[in-house]
Structure 1
């Protein structure tokens, strides 16, 4: 019998459990640990609430989760309840599937001012992650600055630009919905230190921005390369450029003459945040440095020109990437924002998968081949039977330490309660406090 512990119940964790079942069938026991009482990680707390079609991928994990050889072990946190070393003492293999839940630091002066947030925190806040439920961003200023040129930046800009009616059918949590409904933000500036050809924005996300009821996306035509320069780009990037070129047609509405409800979304390319300026501890402007592209070994790099200008702003959200959260005594790759590994191997008996292995790259579906690859390595590395106690050993430890473990069937009770509490048209109203989740799980 193989005993496998997977730490993290997001897509990477469940795809890895699926791979383990295919590899060993009834000769494996897989325990999937998560610090929260609820599974699915990024699907629940990272995917935008108006992307319900993406969230539905969690449905495919249910057959794996309900397999008797797989068990969800929620509300058990590394460092608080047990250590990696203790897991390795109990299981034949421990696989870190913790994702990359932490923001890359915005390393400029003023980044710690009030109403300046990383995207992990801001996205976690509107998605109901318990860690960020008390974030309380203030949307009482006219202008917000979003830093970054990827899909997360578009998600943040899109939600800031939505009208209250456009949140129908989403699972945005009540506290965020109320804040967005009171928002005074009517100008959103998306800063990108490089140019349009270097964006990581997909056509689908840009199309969603263009389809908003009251927004007006704007690109300065001078920021766009000649049309013929698009030819060598891959097809998706060319499609994205077509949207940006569409946004460059026609001037932005005059702020004094625009409809009071209209939201202008400005793309500012070749623009790097230089400092965040504030008064009384809160952001009031972003100082930006104009950049130019220089050829480098890894592609075009942004270099500062020394030209500075200011954008008045009462809210800043930095969407510059994510990184895995370091774990004591586990080698860590600071530059890659991931655990140091060779093809998923960290050290004997310890592996990593998904963003914890690769860094924050790839789509949700990229985690499936990654999970199967790591299980292949586990199968080749370990002898048939190491004599570990696995699930039984953990259960004895949990009882001794009085851990309040949440099983998948308990999660189903939580989900049932969230669905029952949903406002009209919404799929659910998420609990944003762990205590409420535990209470719902305990109901009979």
Structure 2
């Protein structure tokens, strides 16, 4: 039959293979953090021919693994090795230094691809909404984390550590992270990938006390046991916990799920029991301390005569509502917590990269079902822009895998029409070339990566991050 077909073909015609470019699913992922990479990994694993292109606004991949994970938690960054293996696959292309919504529109991506996955996270922080919040040295934990992790947009923020007391509003893992960095010995920090300029500031820091303020009680803290254990055992630092805040935990603990039970057991033990001899000796010689303050809501940041932060005015709260669903209600009682630095750590918010996207302002997410964006076939979300800023890398992996499976399922059931020819990155590269946007490939990122690691090795640290965008582009070209 093949011979007969050839005989009937006009001279010069070419027999097209049954799998032509128009049947290759063209998929793009916006965002190169864990959500983006886990989604891409699932798609490449589950579909034999899909092409996945990943767009990232920075010249560097890996999102919050590079710029959000605490620098003294290097083991958490090991997932970068897995992401690199994904990035080196033939059917994957990394396009760095491309900002969706600025350099290229969502409509242009949807025109060029069969499926578009938004995995750009939640990059905005929640404000306190109180007087004095705009004073110098009132910072979001997001910016502070970006500063000590070398995020270009936060590399030059003004952080004044010439104060003996700092307050962190919030009691989650990010709040614990920033408190720990403020209280950790510089001899330990200088072995991490904190940029040298930041290390110089931390070396001059006078911060000796950090208080973490929460709206509700100790049973409602949002940090995990790993982070608490690190604080309890932090060298040169001791906890300062009010025993009366923790007495009632003894009655709650037996009926709690195991993870929560273990966390509150450690919290109660630290507050109510004498430490072991080794820990007691460490606490006795400690020059720094941390504390937790409960049932308090910030109502005003106070300023001294020279305009600098002098304290945080707090309202005392009472709890109302069903057990396990208590809400904090402010009372008329107020108190002042003296400090020279205020860091707000009350959550992150997502945003819509395009006005046409459905967006829930209450949850700051794009409405979806199992990653499929409501009312938008072929459009998907993954990670925090889908779920809200909750969980750790493991939960983000679950979200990424779920969305990746949805993308493949829709391709296989023809819910997404892959017979419609799509140019994929070829079309977008034309758009970017016309605008003069310089794309950074994964191979070019690896050049920058090598530079950072070599610079770090000379200083006895994992890497010395380049924090200037212009310099990053130079080193990656």
In the alignment, structure 1 residue 49 sits paired with structure 2 residue 71: yes
Please tell me whether the aligned partners of residues 66 and 149 of structure 2 are also in contact (alpha carbons under 8 angstroms).
Answer: yes
Report the equivalent of 2:326: 300
Report the equivalent of 1:385: 419
Report the equivalent of 2:358: 331
| Separation in 2, partners of 1:309, 1:439 | 52
**TM-score, normalised via structure 1 length:** 0.94
Q: Give ranges in structure 1 of 5+ residues lacking alignment.
A: 252-257
**1:332 counterpart SS class:** coil
**1:400 counterpart SS class:** helix
Q: Who wins on radius of gyration, i.e. which is larger?
A: 2
| Separation in 2, partners of 1:288, 1:435 | 43
Single out whichever of 48-57 and 336-345 deviates more from structure 2: 336-345
The one of 275, 295, 299 aligned to 1:270: 295
| Separation in 1, partners of 2:50, 2:147 | 37
Report the equivalent of 1:424: 459
| Residues 104-125 of structure 1: CA deviation (Å, up to 9, x unaligned) | 1212221111101111111000
Please tell me whether the aligned partners of residues 236 and 285 of structure 2 are also in contact (alpha carbons under 8 angstroms).
Answer: no
Alignment of 1:68-87 (within 5 A): 68-87=90-109
**TM-score, normalised via structure 2 length:** 0.88
The one of 434, 437, 444 aligned to 2:469: 434
Change (3 A) 1:297 1:352: farther
**2:235 counterpart SS class:** coil
Please tell me whether the aligned partners of residues 219 and 249 of structure 2 are also in contact (alpha carbons under 8 angstroms).
Answer: no
Change (3 A) 1:397 1:126: same
| Separation in 1, partners of 2:241, 2:264 | 11
Single out whichever of 27-36 and 103-112 deviates more from structure 2: 103-112
| Separation in 1, partners of 2:242, 2:429 | 61
Deviation at residue 399 of structure 1 after TM alignment: 2.3
In the alignment, structure 1 residue 401 sits paired with structure 2 residue 440: no
Report the equivalent of 1:229: 252
| Residues 338-395 of structure 1: CA deviation (Å, up to 9, x unaligned) | 2233332221222111101000112212222322322333232312322111122122
Please tell me whether the aligned partners of residues 143 and 315 of structure 1 are also in contact (alpha carbons under 8 angstroms).
Answer: yes
| Residues 40-98 of structure 1: CA deviation (Å, up to 9, x unaligned) | 00100000000000011111111110001001100001232111111111111111100
Report the equivalent of 1:314: 340
Deviation at residue 250 of structure 1 after TM alignment: 7.5
Change (3 A) 1:17 1:117: same
Single out whichever of 335-344 and 124-133 deviates more from structure 2: 335-344
| Separation in 2, partners of 1:242, 1:424 | 40
Report the equivalent of 1:410: 444
Report the equivalent of 2:383: 354
Change (3 A) 1:175 1:260: farther
Alignment of 1:111-260 (within 5 A): 111-224=133-246, 225-249=248-272
Single out whichever of 300-309 and 66-75 deviates more from structure 2: 300-309
Please tell me whether the aligned partners of residues 253 and 265 of structure 2 are also in contact (alpha carbons under 8 angstroms).
Answer: no
Please tell me whether the aligned partners of residues 190 and 199 of structure 2 are also in contact (alpha carbons under 8 angstroms).
Answer: no
| Residues 394-425 of structure 1: CA deviation (Å, up to 9, x unaligned) | 22222222220001111100000001111533
Please tell me whether the aligned partners of residues 119 and 318 of structure 1 are also in contact (alpha carbons under 8 angstroms).
Answer: yes
Considering only aligned residues, what root-mean-square deviation do their CA atoms show, in Å?
Answer: 1.9
Q: Give ranges in structure 2 of 5+ residues lacking alignment.
A: 1-23, 275-282
Report the equivalent of 1:254: none
Deviation at residue 440 of structure 1 after TM alignment: 0.8
